[in-house]
Structure 1
Amino acid sequence: MDTLLDLPPHLRSRLAGALRTGVIEPPYSPPLLRSVLSTGQGLDAIRDALVALDRQGVSAVAIAEMLKLMAKVEARAPRTDLVWSGPAVNGVHARSTRRVYEELLGSGERRVLASTYAFFDGPRAFEVLATRMDAVPDLRVTLLLNIQRKRGDQAPADELVRRFADRFWKYEWPGKARPSVYYDPRSLELDGPAGVLHAKAVVVDEEAVFITSANLTEAALDSNVELGVLVRDRALAASVATQFQVLIEQKLLKPLPAT
């Protein structure tokens, strides 16, 4: 079976069709296989696999159904893309960090969750997401952002949050519809941060998840060396979204005031 599993999808589909319709049947002659598959490469191994299954009482139609099932299993398997910022590496295929961010933030239908430690030029960083929210009224967006206490600033945490919120809603968020924004209050402790919200990730419709070292800054999206993975897997996407949702429900992440 390994030989049939290792066939390219288009050849496996072609073989399944010929087996299902009776074009190919025992004793699986090499010339007929060559004619259907349009290749002689690996032909002996393919025939040996088919003959072995025939000897076990597996009919040509049953083999065709097995090949069809293989295709369905492959289609449901997680798909992973390498995502990269910085100098291109010859011989390695990787998607652009900026393009993946824009693709995901601009494609949500039901829910988008995005977390970043830092952002620069909010109107540009959030433009794609804000435009999508305005175009899809039912889209629920959750942003997780870090609020940083500047060195020497002794203002109470509530005051720092108000300053951040006023600046964010007035100057950084470019859309009419507003997302739900949360922050980690530990970053504002006067004795030094006990922890910060440092995760950089996007989850879209709980179907795709992007985990990256890149913040939403021009340098991270285009010139820094940054590495990430985009995984289209519902179980993983739902798991990541749930992790953040539990932090929100347990009030470990706090909501940013609306004004």
Structure 2
Amino acid sequence: MLYGSMRSRQVDARFFIDIPQIERRVAADAHLKRHVSKFLTESWPFGEPRPHLYYDKRALTPGPPYCSLHAKCVVIDGVRAFVSSANFTQRGQERNIEVGVLIEDPSFASYLAGQWLGLIDARIVGEYVA
């Protein structure tokens, strides 16, 4: 549905994806590319257009401190927000017992979107550009 909207209505989608933190000294660019490719293969097999992909820059440096992008939420048009405990994976969607809530409140949805956009503005997350 999202992919179809991106194609037919030029919907702009932004995904904040978890890149596992480097555990030892490896090439950060290769690590990032490998995990983005895995995400695209497993979770976005549609091809173009693709969503903008953002990742926590701290994941490209070995810990400590350790980081993980663990939030699960969707904001739609700054009007609706879906917040869930479920990962957006097959296991999270089909096998686990999870809970989520759809909140139709423009004030809340805009605030939540602002939290994510603030990470971009603060340069805490980086955009993956192929």
Report the TM range for the smaller structure's normalisation. 0.7 to 0.9
Identity %: 33
**Root mean square deviation of aligned Cα:** 2.0
2:99 & 2:50 partners in 1: Cα distance? 29
Q: Report Cα offsets for 1:53-90 as digits up to 9, x if no partner.
A: xxxxxxxxxxxxxxxxxxxxxxxxxxxxxxxxxxxxxx
Q: For structure 2, list consecutive stretches of 5 or more residues without a partner in the other structure.
A: none
Of Structure 1 and Structure 2, the greater helix share is in 1
**SS of structure 2 residue aligned to 1:231:** strand
Residue 228 of structure 1 and its aligned partner are, at CA, apart by 1.5
Contact 1:146–1:198, Cα closer than 8 Å, also in 2: yes
1:160 aligns with 2:31: yes
Question: Do the aligned partners of residues 166 and 215 (structure 1) sit closer, same or farther apart at CA in structure 2, a change above 3 Å counting?
Answer: closer
What residue number does 1:226 align with? Answer: 98
Q: Letter of the 1:244 partner, please give it.
A: W
Number of matched residues? 128
Question: Do the aligned partners of residues 143 and 252 (structure 1) sit closer, same or farther apart at CA in structure 2, a change above 3 Å counting?
Answer: same
Normalising by structure 2, what TM-score?
A: 0.85
2:30 & 2:64 partners in 1: Cα distance? 16
Q: Report Cα offsets for 1:114-172 as digits up to 9, x if no partner.
A: xxxxxxxxxxxxxx3222211212x1111100111475x53132221122334445x34
What residue number does 2:70 align with? Answer: 198
Residue 177 of structure 1 and its aligned partner are, at CA, apart by 1.1
Residue 226 of structure 1 and its aligned partner are, at CA, apart by 0.7
Q: Letter of the 1:232 partner, please give it.
A: E
Q: For structure 1, list consecutive stretches of 5 or more residues without a partner in the other structure.
A: 1-127
Contact 2:21–2:68, Cα closer than 8 Å, also in 1: no
Runs of 4+ residues over 3 Å off in structure 1: 165-169
**SS of structure 2 residue aligned to 1:148:** coil
2:122 & 2:104 partners in 1: Cα distance? 28
Q: Which of 55, 64, 71 is 1:183 aligned to?
A: 55
Residue 195 of structure 1 and its aligned partner are, at CA, apart by 1.7
Normalising by structure 1, what TM-score?
A: 0.45
Q: Which has the larger radius of gyration?
A: 1
